[in-house]
Amino acid sequence: MKFWLRGGISAAILAMALVCVGGAKADTIHMNYTGTGISGSMDLVGTLIGGGVYQVTSVSGLENGTVIAGLVGGSGPNYFVLPDGSSFLYDNLINPTGNPALTNPGLLYSLVGALYPENIYWGGSSYLLARYVGGGNFPNDFVITPLSIEISKVPEPSTLALFGAGLIALGSIVRRTKDRIGKKSES
């Protein structure tokens, strides 16, 4: 009787985990970045659009201790026009396994309390962070800082649930096997 009860519990946990996996729609990508005078960490939530590329739909985190307020704009490429007529080009796409992971238009986001957004993008030979400082004297109205970036994909809760269910099922199998071996030894 215990065998059927344990097997039933394991099967129910595995079934629930598989149902959770089927409902997954977005992934979280963690990105750390550093440059001269800049240190940031953000979690990007995105939807896979194909070829390993995600359309970022939201962002959270900290940059130099300031909270990242959120993503600016949507899909692109598109322009965010600034007061002097210059602009940020962005597409808010990321490929966590690609090299480069960000495109040339890049990721446009804002910090709490900042007047204008910031843009992290691939500059052809390195990642760059662009900050608008104004002045109407393009390109001198931007401060561009080279960055080092580390990107990792964060497992979805449903993936972790499936992993946990697998561990429970494996533990149950090992215990049943030990119980059977112990009973045969006693006979």
pLDDT in tens, 137-182: 767 789 999 999 999 876 555 544 445 555 565 556 656 666 667 6
- Which three-class secondary structure state does DSSP give residue 117? coil
User: What are the structural domain ranges in the chain?
Assistant: 27-154
Q: What is the pLDDT of residue 69?
A: 96
Mark the ranges of the chain whose per-residue pLDDT is less than 50: 14, 17-24, 159-162
Q: In whole angstroms, give the CA distance from residue 19 to residue 3.
A: 24
Q: What is the pLDDT of residue 140?
A: 78
- Tell me the DSSP string of 67-119: EEEEE-S-SSSEEEE-TTS-EEEE--EE-TTSSSSB-SS-EEEEETT-SS-EE
Q: What is the pLDDT of residue 134?
A: 85
Query: 144 pairs with which residues across the strands?
Result: 130
The pTM for the full model equals: 0.69
Question: ω into residue 139 within 30 of 0, thus cis?
Answer: yes
